[in-house]
Structure 1
Amino acid sequence: MHALIVVAHPNPESLSHGVAAQLANGVSLSGPGHSFEMADLAAEGFDPRFGTADIAVHLKQAPPPADVRAEQARIDRADALVLVYPVYWWSMPGLLKGWVDRVFTNGWAYDEGPDGTLVKRLRHLRVHLVAIGGAGLRTYARHGYFGAMKTQIDRGIFDYCGAHVVTSELLLPSETQDLSGHLEAAGTIGRKLFAPERHAEAA
């Protein structure tokens, strides 16, 4: 089985990249027949700006541009989509949000009819979210930030398209600022990405 791991951070030495690499290593160690592709949106220069051409795609007046079709093809090849990203202003970075805005198009991720009917077209896709936060657990709990993120991202984006969010992790700093736990958690997620019990759980 194949995973597409998307990382959205401009610094290749970032913790986000380290977590993505450990997750990919976990996939490699999970057994024969499992593979991954790494999509480094910043390094690849993906343009997240939603412009007039994207509006035409949304209205089904034009086909998606080449860069969007390439990203959709990557997802179509994958059995699992993994997003690894830092938390900016209690959500995903603009680069990743723009990727979602442009790639998860009307007619590919979902079909919205003129009468308001909705067809969810990504029911086959399993999604794993790994967010890396800078604030402590008390801050997230006190203000309900993680719950708000799950409503916005897990349900607002992926459930709308029919994709099943299997893993939704929020990695937060410890009191000792030891980041090894984040890397260990990422490796575990990667090793279990295609575990049989996950498919049974998602059914």
Structure 2
Amino acid sequence: MHSLIVVAHPEPGSLTHAVANRIGDLILSASNGNTVEIADLAAEGFDPRFNQADNALFRMTAPPPADVVAEHARIDRADKLVLVYPLYWWSFPALLKGWIDRVFTQGWAYADGADGKVEKKLQRLQVHLVGLGGADASMIERRGYGAAMKTQIDMGIFDYCGARVQSSTLLLESDSGNADANLRTAGDIGRTIGTSAAA
């Protein structure tokens, strides 16, 4: 099984990148048949700005831009999509949100039917979400941020396209010496993904 890990952080030495790499390493070690590709959106220079060409594609009056076609192909090769990102204002960073905006397009991720119903076109795709934040779990729960993120991201994006969110994990207290524990959890996530791929 092939996993695409998408990481959105500008610093290659960040905990976010370390978590993405740990997940990838453990997916690979779980089975000889597993493969992993890491898409580092910042290093690759992905342009997250939704532009006129993207809008024309949304209106179905133009084909997808070349960079979007390349991202479609990467996801089409994957059985599992793993997003690893820092929490910025209780959601994705702009780079990752722009990747979603531009890549999860009408006609490819979903289609508006003539009957008004949405055709969910990514039902084969399994998704794992890993967000890193500095807050602690009690703050997340007390303010309802966790539930809000699940509604916005798990349901609002992936369920809309039919992709199944298999896990949605917040690695918290990242700024207060919890990095080792977060990396252990990342290893568990990778091992679980790798083992389920091998089954």
Is the pair's TM-score, using the shorter chain for normalization, greater than 0.5?
yes
Question: 2:126 matched to 1:126?
Answer: yes
Q: CA, structure 1 residues 74+175, in 2 after alignment: closer, same or farther (shift >3 Å)?
A: closer
The structural deviation recorded for 1:28 is 1.2
The match for 2:26 is 26
Q: CA, structure 1 residues 81+174, in 2 after alignment: closer, same or farther (shift >3 Å)?
A: closer
Q: Secondary structure at the match of 1:193?
A: helix
Query: Are the equivalent residues in 2 in contact too, given 1:166–1:198 (CA < 8 A)?
Result: no
Q: Secondary structure at the match of 2:178?
A: coil
Counterparts of 1:14 and 1:7, CA distance in 2: 11
Counterparts of 2:150 and 2:198, CA distance in 1: 19
Question: 2:191 matched to 1:172?
Answer: no
Counterparts of 2:87 and 2:196, CA distance in 1: 30
Percent identity of the aligned residues? 58
Counterparts of 2:120 and 2:100, CA distance in 1: 15
The match for 2:110 is 110
The match for 2:6 is 6
- One-letter amino acid matched to 1:141: E
- One-letter amino acid matched to 1:182: N
Counterparts of 1:37 and 1:150, CA distance in 2: 25
Query: Are the equivalent residues in 1 in contact too, given 2:80–2:125 (CA < 8 A)?
Result: yes
The structural deviation recorded for 1:195 is 2.8
Q: CA, structure 1 residues 194+182, in 2 after alignment: closer, same or farther (shift >3 Å)?
A: same
The structural deviation recorded for 1:116 is 2.0
Q: Secondary structure at the match of 1:195?
A: helix
Query: Are the equivalent residues in 1 in contact too, given 2:57–2:63 (CA < 8 A)?
Result: yes
Show CA shifts across 1:111-135 (max 9, x none): 1134422100000000000000111
Q: CA, structure 1 residues 142+43, in 2 after alignment: closer, same or farther (shift >3 Å)?
A: same
* Bigger mean CA offset, 179-188 vs 34-43: 179-188
Q: Secondary structure at the match of 1:13?
A: coil
Query: Are the equivalent residues in 1 in contact too, given 2:125–2:164 (CA < 8 A)?
Result: yes
Q: Secondary structure at the match of 2:83?
A: strand
Counterparts of 1:150 and 1:111, CA distance in 2: 23
Superposed CA RMSD: 1.7
Mind listing any 5+ residue stretches in structure 1 that lack a counterpart? none
The match for 1:191 is 191
Query: Are the equivalent residues in 2 in contact too, given 1:126–1:164 (CA < 8 A)?
Result: yes
The structural deviation recorded for 1:101 is 0.2
Question: 2:122 matched to 1:140?
Answer: no
The structural deviation recorded for 1:191 is 1.3
Counterparts of 2:193 and 2:132, CA distance in 1: 19
TM-score (norm 2): 0.96
The match for 1:80 is 80
